[in-house]
Structure 1
Amino acid sequence: MAELKEFYFKSEPGIMELLAKLTEDYANYSSKVVEKWPGYAKIAEKMRKNVGDTFKQKILKIFPKEQALVKVLVHADLWIKNILMLRDAEGPKDAIFVDYQMCFEGSPALDIHNLFITSVKLDVLKTKRLELIRHYYDVLRTTLIACDYNRDDIPTLDDILYEVQRTEFFSYYELVFPFAQTNLSDKLTEGLGVGDLTEENNMERTLKDIYSNRRVLDTYAYELRRLDDLGILD
């Protein structure tokens, strides 16, 4: 664990600058969509304020492992396309996580936010969010006991819930850029890489494509309201 790099937002300044710029582009564009919805004008204004240095300050302070009550090997890119599923006629039987190239030591809540925003259906997020976190905790605790981990050092469910709350701004970042990016239409992405889609001459059609997607709009409507109620955008 000691040999791992910090999360790429800190260890790779160039990547940090690129993602901050892309997040700003996506936030500025989507806020113009959002502000047209009844009751969302103030949220749209807050989105435009959570860019640039404000975004960097908020995002960077949630990663240091010293801040976390619970520390794990964080996958750092945990979404459905990095999970291999073993299935039979009745459904999924097992799962294996792949693509650990960005892993680091930190809060498990970062993987939880990543998976929830990018890969969980909206109706499940609305009704089962806490249940999913409790299930994660139950499996974590059971696994640690099976590995003869000192029971006095096993985190509590409240520890996990605190970490989810402490790092909630990461779910906003996931919503604005990674989640949006994963919902590009197949027609637009055919033959193009991420670098092509983020070039200035392609950005307008990329954003237009994303923010005409019903899943994106419905998820933004729910998650932005939830995050604003939590004070994350203040």
Structure 2
Amino acid sequence: MPEEKPHPAPVWLTKDYVEDKLQVYFKNNSLQLEELEIKPAIPNGENYASVMTRINVVYSTNESKKKKATNFLVKTTFASKDPAAHVLMHYGIYTREMDMYEKILPELSVIVKEELKDSRRLFAGTVNVDRERDSIIFEDLSLEYYKVACRLKKLDLEHTHLVLEKLANFHAAGAVLAERQPGIFAENFDRGFYNKHTRGYEPIMRNLLEALSRSLELQPDLKQRYQAKIDRLVDRVMDYGEQSTTINPGDFVTLTHGDIWTTNVMFQYDAEGRPSNAIFIDFQFTVWNSPAIDLHYFFSTSIHENLRLERQSELVQFYFYKLVDALKKVKYSGRIPSLFEFQRQFRTKAFYAVFSSLIFEPTMVYNGKEEASMEQIISKSEKGMRFKDDVYRSENIQKKMHLTLPFLDHLGLLDEM
């Protein structure tokens, strides 16, 4: 990916501001910030929904003459003039994530630790939530050697099983929290990528599907079989997406992550180099819905091809048994579906795999020369069209479509629904 000018750090992120927040976090009014270094945490194109900034601090206190150094991460919204902000503001994602870090995640963490007896971290600890500035400061878990897996190489079976185990705990804890605190998810947890309130993502989804259709001109065999279906899908993608996220009678529903893919999971490894824990980050699209949407999204964007194409039913079963075990441990009183019922529920939400694999995943793994941003996805300018075409004309995506399009088509997901 080319060198790109990163989003600038917020102007309010000053030495005095950080010192004030750290005094509260460490519960020590004598804390003095000696040094503050601010730099981008991730390059443009790695995250389409927010700005991540790493702050390196050196501080002292009255209790210790020795200066201490540490890092934190600051997550902020795009500036209001950024096209991404215009799209995302209708989804309530910034207030939702602040709610998650301030209220929900601490509750889930206690349930997982005390009732599921899993002492491993579930998320990064919150340092400060600033609703006036739509920002969150949280722990930098790279200090504990957590790291993100490669978005291009994807996850093997061992990493996949670990994510599914932690996801089952997250879903079970969310379900029982809703039982114990009725209404806790009643406000602002109903707006995932597809919902009944806004279609802000429609231009993004249409533009990328149109780019996919154009790319099929380079592959006559795929063009003949699938181009007409993709063209028809352009006008129906939002309808089908909303159908796939409609909660049906009998569905098991809970708090879902909503954006669970490689870059939103961090792994810690043991001395032998095996993954020992996985934590989730980026809770902007957390939504009350079927856990099947998390599974489809994760399978479509993050795991090895052979797992995605050949072993999904097996992976759903693995997850389901972990979920049932966790629900029983937390004494969930709602109805727990059978495996047969849950597999059926998974299939009814399968259109989520279409948009995840055909629309989002190609941009997630883009590693080409064009500027990668939500602005370029939305734009009809020459630069924007060039980026979108480059996404789908990459050798990797061209090869992948030979597998993905037949896989989805055989399930009837590219036909009228």
Contact 2:296 2:350 in 1 (8 A): yes
**Matching residue of 2:258:** 76
Could you tell me how far apart the structure 2 residues matched to 1:50 and 1:196 are? Answer: 21
Could you tell me how far apart the structure 1 residues matched to 2:411 and 2:231 are? Answer: 18
Could you tell me how far apart the structure 2 residues matched to 1:7 and 1:68 are? Answer: 21
- Report the TM-score when normalising by structure 2: 0.50
- For 1:212, the aligned partner's letter is R
- Does the alignment pair 1:137 with 2:317? no
**Matching residue of 1:209:** 390
Contact 1:172 1:227 in 2 (8 A): yes
Superposition pairs of residues 1-234 of structure 1, within 5 angstroms: 1-8=185-192, 9-10=194-195, 13=198, 16-17=199-200, 19-34=201-216, 36-38=219-221, 40-52=223-235, 54-66=236-248, 69-88=251-270, 89-150=272-333, 153-185=335-367, 187-189=369-371, 193-201=373-381, 202-234=383-415
Contact 1:5 1:11 in 2 (8 A): no
Offset at residue 50 of structure 1 (A) = 0.8
Size of the aligned set, in residue pairs, is: 227
Contact 1:184 1:206 in 2 (8 A): no
Percent of residue pairs bearing the same amino acid type: 21
- For 2:375, the aligned partner's letter is G
Contact 2:203 2:378 in 1 (8 A): no
Unaligned 5+ runs, structure 1 = none
Higher helix share: 1
Contact 1:70 1:159 in 2 (8 A): no
Per-residue displacement from partner, 1:128-164 (whole Å, max 9, x unpaired)?
Answer: 22221111111111111211224x8222212221122
- For 2:191, the aligned partner's letter is F
What secondary structure, in the 3-state scheme, does the structure 2 residue paired with 1:65 have? coil
**C-alpha root-mean-square deviation of aligned residues, in Å?**
2.2
Superposed structure 1 runs of 4+ greater than 6 Å apart: none
Give the structure, 1 or 2, with the largest relative contact order (CA under 8 Å, sep 6 or more).
Answer: 1
Offset at residue 37 of structure 1 (A) = 4.0
Per-residue displacement from partner, 1:43-87 (whole Å, max 9, x unpaired)?
Answer: 2111100112x2222111222334561101111111011112111
Distance 1:186 1:48, change over 3 A: closer
Offset at residue 166 of structure 1 (A) = 0.6
Offset at residue 118 of structure 1 (A) = 0.9
Contact 1:211 1:217 in 2 (8 A): yes
- For 1:200, the aligned partner's letter is K
- For 2:288, the aligned partner's letter is E
- For 1:7, the aligned partner's letter is R
Contact 1:183 1:213 in 2 (8 A): no
Offset at residue 40 of structure 1 (A) = 4.9
What secondary structure, in the 3-state scheme, does the structure 1 residue paired with 2:244 have? coil
Could you tell me how far apart the structure 2 residues matched to 1:43 and 1:205 are? Answer: 22
Could you tell me how far apart the structure 2 residues matched to 1:68 and 1:211 are? Answer: 39
Contact 2:377 2:388 in 1 (8 A): no
Distance 1:140 1:231, change over 3 A: same
Distance 1:67 1:78, change over 3 A: farther
Offset at residue 39 of structure 1 (A) = 5.5
Distance 1:162 1:12, change over 3 A: same
Could you tell me how far apart the structure 2 residues matched to 1:97 and 1:69 are? Answer: 24
Could you tell me how far apart the structure 2 residues matched to 1:34 and 1:66 are? Answer: 36
